[in-house]
Amino acid sequence: MLDLAGRYGQGPVMVKEIASRQDLSEKYLEQILSELRKAGLVVSTQGKNGGFQLARTPDKINLLDIVNVLEGGLTPVLCADDESFCDRSDQCIMREVWQSIGKSSVKLLKKWTLKDLVEKEREKINTTTVLDFSI
């Protein structure tokens, strides 16, 4: 998604190109992109100049959107969201801890957008690039 966000507005990007840049297998990437397409986060175009691109602008897609699709949510343990999962849920202090961790994670991931990450990545690349002018 970060790869697509960095190329937003340049048209569809081929799976082969993304896989090469991100050092992923094309087959694995196709599975991920299929899930993201079903969720409406990316769109695909068929044909010679086909590929994938973001369905919304990078500032309108946050990390929580992506994690929910690819990971199915952030609940650290099943009882945190479903008290019927455990007979001791109403007495368990750890359930409160897990719920707190989950809420904090949701808040943090909701805050970060793909646009934010692209900007940070570009900053990092610009600050770590060292030019060698020695002869």
* Total-model pTM: 0.82
Same domain, 32 and 73: no
User: What pLDDT is attached to residue 125?
Assistant: 83
pLDDT at 117: 96
pLDDT mean across residues, the chain:
90
pLDDT tens by residue, 62-72: 999 999 999 98
Q: What is the mean pLDDT of residues 106-120?
A: 96
Looking at the fold, whether 12 and 49 belong to one and the same domain comes out as: yes
45: domain CATH number is 1.10.10.10
Closest of 52, 49, 22, 28 to residue 38, by C-alpha: 52
Range of 48's domain?
Answer: 1-55
Burial grade of 91 (CB within 10 A; 0-12, 13-18, 19 or more): exposed
Q: What is residue 85's three-state secondary structure? A: helix
86 and 72 together in one domain: yes
Residue type, 126: N
